[in-house]
Structure 1
Amino acid sequence: MDEDGEAESSPQVPYESLLNLPLSSDLDRIAEQMHALARAQRSLQGLLEAVLGISSDLDLPTVLRRVVRTSMDLVGARYGALGVLDDSGEFLSEFIPLGLDSQELNDLSGVELPRGRGLLGHLIRHPEPLRVPDIGRHPESAGFPPGHPPMRTLLGVAISGRDRIYGNLYLSDRRDGKPFDAQDEGVIRALAGTAGVAIENARLFLQVQRSSERFQRLLLPRLLDLGPFRSCTVYRPASAPGHLGGDWYDAFKLDDGSCVAVIGDVIGHDLEAAAAMSQIRSMLRALSFDGPASPGATLGRLDRIMLATGGHAVTTACVCRFEPVHDGWLMRWSNAGHPPPLVLLPDGDACYLEAEPGIPLGVDADLGRPDHTYPLAPGSTVIMYTDGVVERHDQPLQRGLDSLAATARQLVGEPLEQLCGALADHYPGDGHDDMAVLVLRVPGAGGADGSRS
């Protein structure tokens, strides 16, 4: 207050002076920082989710496409591609583009995929991150082929694993129209590190899968000449990478002119199951040649030998023996817990040989093995298969059996290779288990095989 007791008034600040204060610019700068922080947090969250997503799959083609799609999503890119290097490391052996719509894909039909020239080649020769604000102005730009959509900006990052560069990740044109910045580069570089590990794991898994399948096929027999019988076989591994199975088949002629066909499945999906399958198949073939025992007796002897030699593999199997009779063929069979054989008659009728299946091998060797007989008309076909052909965990087994029989009926009289291939290609199973099919056709009237010429 002044001496008169009146309150002192605050000094008046001119309005024009308020406009000159740095408050507005500070707020703008703070807002930009907050925006950048929020963007960084979103990028980090997206990166963590992307790492989990990419690392969760072991199918190589799926992993490669997921890497590209995830990279596009992280930085808001309209286009993305992954170039896989060839063994020389100098050119692209595979190019996986994403983001092209149907019209753009149609415009590029017939255009050869990039091999690694221009800016793509630059990144191959110089595997450091590359940001280009204007592709057309870069001195190493080679332009685009006819029909290629226009692209302006580029972000390229190399993907490496096990001390070698696997390929390069290319992103083009942010959806907001801005060029790629340092934050985009940092996020994609971080993703590329994870992608390299995921790709290497998927490649190793693919190698294991191929080696497992090759090992499995080496254990299966190559069928000898069964004439006058005709046969065809097929084996397909399960869809799971590295999956080893115990499915097997075998067929051979005996000295008395009869023919034996076997299908079996050792329970398990590992190396031990595959090894047990090979041993059991060999023992069963040897026992079949050792005297005129019935299929049931042969399975009984095999069961006792497995028990005596310390074998603990639970195995399903079906043994069929085809013997000539005056008016055709007699099929004798015994089943150890295996799906029933399917008989396809020359007139197109098909029926499953439903009979006492018995229990699997390796459960109780003291139980008897029942034998069954079925007269076969000349030219009949017997289809033996493992449960992976017909089994789906979300459907009753009978539905798979009905589907298999329907496919067989449609191809009655066709060459055996066509029938066998169709059964394998159109199987009703879910693919979670490996599968084997053995098809055997007895001679027709006059020795013909019953196929259409």
Structure 2
Amino acid sequence: MHREEEPRQPSSSELRLRLDAEVEQITEQLQALARATDRLHGLLDAVLAISRELELAAVLHRVVTTAMELVGARYGALGVLHDSGQYLDEFITAGLSEQERDDLAGVAFPRGLGVLGHLIRHPEPLRLDDIRSHPSSTGFPPGHPQLRSLLGVAMSVRGEIYGDLYLSERRDGQPFDDHDENIVAALAGAAGIAIENVRLFEQVRAGSEQFQRLLLPTLPALRPFEAAAIYRPAIEPNPLGGDWYDAIVLPDDTVAIAIGDVVGHDLHAAAAMASTRNMLRALLFTQRILPSAVLAQLDRTLQAITDNPVTTTSLTHIERDGPAWRLRWSTAGHLPPLLITPDGRAEHLFAEPGLPLGVNAGQSRPDHVHPLPPGATVVFYTDGLIEHPDKPIDQSLNELAELATTHAALPVQDFVQALADHHPSDGHDDIAILALRTPHI
């Protein structure tokens, strides 16, 4: 009878090798898990960043650059489909060097032929190690980088294909893999929601802007003066605001100019602006009194019958003064008018500003007077034109004065347009500007 041999026990060196192999395997798994966790965090951060954008162009560019970062791609692009769904109507790129962009300067953007057209017709994720090997490949136009790898994912908005996200050339030289495809597909899904939100927001904003502009008057003929006004909504999420202007010819031929700013950025502020402007108009036509007295009566009336927010405003009468004119004005916490003299100098007409409306209706308000010579321009504006968190108010006022003198020779409509386009503020607030120019004698 044979004795069974006992199984041989592994040596210590063999055990060590096995242990090392298991540790290495566990390490690789942990590293893969860490990479997956990092990617997940990156994806979540990316979704949050995209969802914060409020402009469609910014969302689309952010989608491309974020996808590139998540998978380490050198090039990225997003093609937006035409409404017909048959070809690309817009093409956003990222990753091209300045030289590569120069090389493509005369080349029209892709309309969706070749491999890109395949993804339009078949909106499933497409992953290629060699673009040229695909049956639909038609090559690249002159000057285009010679790309090899491609990861393409369709983006849909409310169930309809909106466009396609393309990535090419991983920086590590490896082909795109399943993890890349999954994370880009997840990003594309989140991007579709962000795009829809921005489109809805733009519709609301457009309606809000239209509503706001309908509340503001069309300037009447203010002969012998030339006048122009402009309103710009805030960049902030709610474009509704309380900035307003008005100009009317009173029964004695005096021209009254008003400008104001109701605190807030919502429907209540816009409604308060409308009621304040309408009440002021009624007082101007029924009360033959100085601007300070009109503002005092307006303050008492508003406090008695409304719950309007605090409001700054300035009321100016432009009166005849011999062969020229004079400004007679009073303010309720508002910024000073800016006078550009016929020789091109700018002067802020600083004076006692008074309290805003809605603070203390019993507080007296002074009137101020300043000559207004022929060929002069006076500018009334709200604080959205100059406020900037990184600048002191004096610096912004000086920048506005320089801007006004630079463009003082323009026709008055172009002049207010230039002020609105090149203002020294950060754009966080809405802007109202009214400029009046006296004729040369």
Per the TM superposition, whether the score is higher than 0.5 is yes
How many angstroms apart in 2 are the aligned matches of 1:276 and 1:178? 61
Q: 1:286 to 1:122 in 2, by over 3 A?
A: same
Map 1:40-189 to 2 at 5 A: 40-189=36-185
What whole-Å deviation, never above 9, does each CA across 1:189-213 have from its counterpart, x for those lacking one?
1222222222222222222332222
Q: Does 1:252 align with 2:277?
A: no
Structure 1 contact 219–278 (Cα < 8 Å) conserved? yes
Q: Does 1:444 align with 2:433?
A: no
Q: Give aligned-pair identity as a percent.
A: 57
Alpha-carbon shift at residue 308 of structure 1 (Å): 2.4
TM (norm. structure 1) is 0.88
Q: 1:317 to 1:31 in 2, by over 3 A?
A: closer
Q: Please tell me whether Structure 1 or Structure 2 has the larger radius of gyration of its CA atoms.
A: 1
Structure 1 contact 347–412 (Cα < 8 Å) conserved? no
How many angstroms apart in 2 are the aligned matches of 1:430 and 1:273? 21
What whole-Å deviation, never above 9, does each CA across 1:44-73 have from its counterpart, x for those lacking one?
333233233323333322221121112112
Q: Match for residue 451 of structure 1?
A: none
Counterpart of 1:371, as a letter, is: D
Q: Match for residue 396 of structure 1?
A: 392
User: How many corresponding residue pairs?
Assistant: 432
Q: Match for residue 336 of structure 2?
A: 340
| DSSP 3-state at the match of 2:247 | strand
What whole-Å deviation, never above 9, does each CA across 1:205-261 have from its counterpart, x for those lacking one?
222332222222121111111111110112112221333210011112123222111
What whole-Å deviation, never above 9, does each CA across 1:256-314 have from its counterpart, x for those lacking one?
22211111111111110011111211221222122422211221222222122223321
Structure 2 contact 247–255 (Cα < 8 Å) conserved? yes
How many angstroms apart in 1 are the aligned matches of 2:202 and 2:46? 22
Alpha-carbon shift at residue 179 of structure 1 (Å): 2.1
Counterpart of 1:99, as a letter, is: G
Greater shift after overlay, 316-325 or 80-89? Answer: 80-89
Counterpart of 1:46, as a letter, is: G
Q: Does 1:196 align with 2:192?
A: yes
| DSSP 3-state at the match of 1:274 | helix
Alpha-carbon shift at residue 323 of structure 1 (Å): 1.3
Structure 1 contact 342–351 (Cα < 8 Å) conserved? yes
Q: Does 1:387 align with 2:383?
A: yes
Greater shift after overlay, 30-39 or 344-353? Answer: 30-39
Alpha-carbon shift at residue 411 of structure 1 (Å): 3.5
Counterpart of 1:381, as a letter, is: T
Counterpart of 1:429, as a letter, is: S
Q: 1:32 to 1:387 in 2, by over 3 A?
A: closer
| DSSP 3-state at the match of 2:164 | strand
Counterpart of 1:394, as a letter, is: D
Counterpart of 2:420, as a letter, is: A
How many angstroms apart in 1 are the aligned matches of 2:242 and 2:362? 24
Counterpart of 1:239, as a letter, is: I
| DSSP 3-state at the match of 2:272 | helix
| DSSP 3-state at the match of 1:324 | strand
TM (norm. structure 2) is 0.90
Out of 264, 267, 281, which is 1:268 matched to?
264
Structure 2 contact 71–180 (Cα < 8 Å) conserved? yes
Q: 1:123 to 1:403 in 2, by over 3 A?
A: same
Counterpart of 1:193, as a letter, is: G
How many angstroms apart in 2 are the aligned matches of 1:25 and 1:351? 81
Counterpart of 2:439, as a letter, is: P
Structure 2 contact 65–94 (Cα < 8 Å) conserved? yes
Q: Match for residue 419 of structure 1?
A: 415
Q: 1:320 to 1:79 in 2, by over 3 A?
A: same
Q: 1:349 to 1:154 in 2, by over 3 A?
A: closer
What whole-Å deviation, never above 9, does each CA across 1:14-50 have from its counterpart, x for those lacking one?
xxxx9xx999998987776566445434433332332
How many angstroms apart in 2 are the aligned matches of 1:43 and 1:278? 51
Q: 1:400 to 1:32 in 2, by over 3 A?
A: closer
Q: Does 1:432 align with 2:397?
A: no
Out of 202, 208, 212, which is 2:204 matched to?
208
Structure 1 contact 266–273 (Cα < 8 Å) conserved? yes
How many angstroms apart in 2 are the aligned matches of 1:12 and 1:337? 93
Out of 215, 218, 225, which is 2:214 matched to?
218
What whole-Å deviation, never above 9, does each CA across 1:51-96 have from its counterpart, x for those lacking one?
3332333332222112111211222222111111222222222111
How many angstroms apart in 2 are the aligned matches of 1:357 and 1:26? 79
Q: Match for residue 3 of structure 2?
A: none
| DSSP 3-state at the match of 1:53 | helix
Q: Match for residue 4 of structure 2?
A: none
Out of 278, 281, 284, which is 2:280 matched to?
284
Structure 2 gap segments, 5+ residues each: 1-6
Alpha-carbon shift at residue 149 of structure 1 (Å): 0.8
Q: 1:360 to 1:128 in 2, by over 3 A?
A: same
Structure 1 gap segments, 5+ residues each: 1-9, 446-453
How many angstroms apart in 1 are the aligned matches of 2:8 and 2:231? 96
Structure 1 contact 247–266 (Cα < 8 Å) conserved? yes
| DSSP 3-state at the match of 2:401 | helix
Structure 1 contact 349–409 (Cα < 8 Å) conserved? yes
Q: Match for residue 7 of structure 1?
A: none
Alpha-carbon shift at residue 421 of structure 1 (Å): 2.4
What whole-Å deviation, never above 9, does each CA across 1:90-124 have from its counterpart, x for those lacking one?
22221111111111111111211111222212212
Q: 1:12 to 1:81 in 2, by over 3 A?
A: closer
How many angstroms apart in 1 are the aligned matches of 2:57 and 2:173? 30
Alpha-carbon shift at residue 350 of structure 1 (Å): 2.6
How many angstroms apart in 1 are the aligned matches of 2:29 and 2:90? 41
Structure 2 contact 238–265 (Cα < 8 Å) conserved? no
Counterpart of 2:93, as a letter, is: P
Counterpart of 1:218, as a letter, is: L
| DSSP 3-state at the match of 1:128 | coil
What whole-Å deviation, never above 9, does each CA across 1:327-355 have from its counterpart, x for those lacking one?
31122111111001112211223322222
